């Protein structure tokens, strides 16, 4: 039925529009620190079973080997986040940190815990290490406090933070940065502002010292770039656009058939 064709092709166009939205978001965040690209997954819808496989055909051939099933389109089943490692950007800032491997920085705001891969930190008026955001001060957890007279800040690969305070030449320990690990990082809730939030799907976080089994290492004077690959995203954009056009052509073909049927008695 050409009417069914219109509805089926419409589901394909709607699904592909969602994929275009995901690709557009990936490309928009190609320069976002710590951004992890998304991917839209599809699944087929239920089928109209005109003849079930395995029915007796009434002859000596036994059960029918196949049936007649007509699919009714597609839909987006999920959007998954690719947590693969992004490239490192070397900087000259002592408070720029990047995680090599698994784990998230844990930050706190309004009594809530959030998680991020963005390591562009600042020091607030109280000397606490916070995310470099103009919107609100999200304090790194466990809290790290740096006095205003501190000169050199040294952060080791295992997250130990030290600073020099004149006239002392030895490093003073300021605390230990820990990273949060999740059983299912793809289950984290995306909030924007480079933040994630724990859900029942992600599981409870485990705060560990960087470098321990399963946890990444900390790199000072570096930031983790977005893991979006612009060339691959553009290829996906082109193929998705062409698939959208094919579905629109299907709609036009169904409309032409309906028009032909309507003109039969003329």
Model pLDDT, residue 266: 62
Q: Does 106 have pLDDT greater than 80?
A: yes
Convert the pLDDT of each residue in 13-50 to its tens digit: 999 999 999 999 999 999 999 999 999 999 999 888 88
Q: Which parts of 117-255 are beta strand (E)?
A: 121-123, 129-131, 139-141, 153-155, 160-163, 172-176, 179-181, 189-192, 195-197, 206-208, 217-220, 222-224
Percent of the chain having pLDDT more than 70?
96
- pLDDT band of residue 135 (cuts 50, 70, 90) is low
2 or 108, which is more confident? 108
Convert the pLDDT of each residue in 224-245 to its tens digit: 999 999 999 999 999 999 999 9
Model pLDDT, residue 61: 66
Cα(55)–Cα(41) distance, integer angstroms: 34
Buried b (16+ CB within 10 A) or exposed e, 81-92: bebebbeeeebe
What global pTM score does this model have?
A: 0.87
Cα(48)–Cα(70) distance, integer angstroms: 5
Domain boundaries, the chain: 2-83+229-262, 88-224
- pLDDT band of residue 57 (cuts 50, 70, 90) is low
């Amino acid at each position: 039925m050409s009417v069914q064709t219109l509805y089926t092709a419409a589901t394909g166009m709607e699904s592909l529009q969602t994929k275009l939205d995901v690709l557009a978001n990936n490309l928009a965040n190609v320069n976002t620190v710590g951004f992890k690209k998304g991917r839209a997954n599809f699944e087929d819808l239920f089928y109209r079973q005109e003849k079930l496989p395995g029915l007796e055909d009434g002859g000596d051939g036994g059960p029918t080997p196949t049936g007649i099933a007509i699919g009714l389109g597609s839909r987006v089943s999920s959007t998954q986040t690719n947590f693969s490692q992004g490239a490192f950007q070397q900087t000259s800032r002592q408070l720029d940190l990047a995680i090599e491997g698994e784990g998230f920085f844990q930050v706190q705001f309004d009594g809530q815990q959030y998680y991020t891969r963005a390591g562009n930190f600042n020091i607030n008026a109280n000397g606490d290490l916070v995310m470099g955001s103009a919107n609100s001060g999200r304090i790194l957890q466990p809290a790290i406090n740096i006095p205003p007279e501190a000169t050199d800040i040294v952060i080791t690969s295992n997250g130990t933070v030290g600073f020099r305070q004149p006239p002392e030449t030895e490093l003073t320990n300021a605390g230990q940065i820990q990273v949060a690990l999740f059983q299912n990082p793809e289950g984290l809730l995306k909030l924007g502002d480079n933040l994630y939030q724990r859900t029942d799907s992600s599981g409870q976080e485990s705060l560990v010292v960087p470098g321990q089994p399963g946890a990444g290492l900390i790199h000072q004077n570096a930031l983790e770039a977005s893991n979006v690959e612009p060339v691959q995203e553009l290829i996906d954009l082109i193929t998705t656009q062409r698939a959208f056009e094919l579905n629109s052509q299907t709609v036009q073909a169904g409309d032409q058939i309906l028009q032909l049927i309507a003109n039969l008695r003329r």
